Structure 1
Amino acid sequence: MKSVQDTLYNWLTIKVVCDARPDDTAAKDTLNLFEEMIADLHLSNLLVSKDDLMYYVSYQQGEETKKARFPQELIEVMLKQINQDPEKYENYPIEE
């Protein structure tokens, strides 16, 4: 069984990358994968907020509203890595 906490963590991490890099096709594909996993876990109505230290995700699972929180530095580590070495994360457009 997939962990809700792990799935939300991975989804949020790649969502932050997608938000910062809207043309990154690999990030979009990865986000779609985690959104499928979220649907498989029957999670809905995801809302993200953040403060100076944490990201907060509220979501519905069945009839119950739940919340998760993640340290900002952990969620943004992938984006920071991409920004530090952009040549390693070149975007390849989809060929039509």
Structure 2
Amino acid sequence: MKREDALLNWLQIQVVADARPHDQSALDTSSFFRQLLQEDYQIRELGYRKEGNWYVLVGKTESDEWESRYPAEMIESLLIAIESEPKYNQ
């Protein structure tokens, strides 16, 4: 999996996990992507913040620090889809 794809997947599922702290599937999936990013891309630190209509993803490897921006609509689409599905909200 490409680094950018793994970062985007982690960010989307982490937003879900943060919004649904009792959703074990979201927590497990977030952990999976974090581990993949650590092992395959040596990402040591990873986090995000929301700024208006954007999510800012920040990361650090041993030799590099970086920041990426994603539209909130794109990042929150997974959370909206999950919360719109009645079987996941019982």
On whether the aligned pair clears a TM of 0.5, the verdict is yes
- Note if 1:21 corresponds to 2:20: yes
- The offset of 1:68, in angstroms, is 1.3
> So what's the TM-score if we normalise by structure 1?
0.83
Aligned to 2:9: 10
Letter in 2 for 1:85: E
Contact 1:5 1:68 in 2 (8 A): no
Map 1:1-96 to 2 at 5 A: 2-40=1-39, 41-87=41-87, 89=88
- The offset of 1:90, in angstroms, is 5.5
> So what's the TM-score if we normalise by structure 2?
0.88
Aligned residues: 89
Q: Which runs of 4+ in 1 moved over 2 A?
A: none
Identical counterparts, % of pairs:
33
Q: Gaps (5+ residues) in structure 1?
A: 92-96
Q: Gaps (5+ residues) in structure 2?
A: none
CA RMSD of aligned residues (A): 1.5
The structure with more helix, counted as a fraction of residues: 2
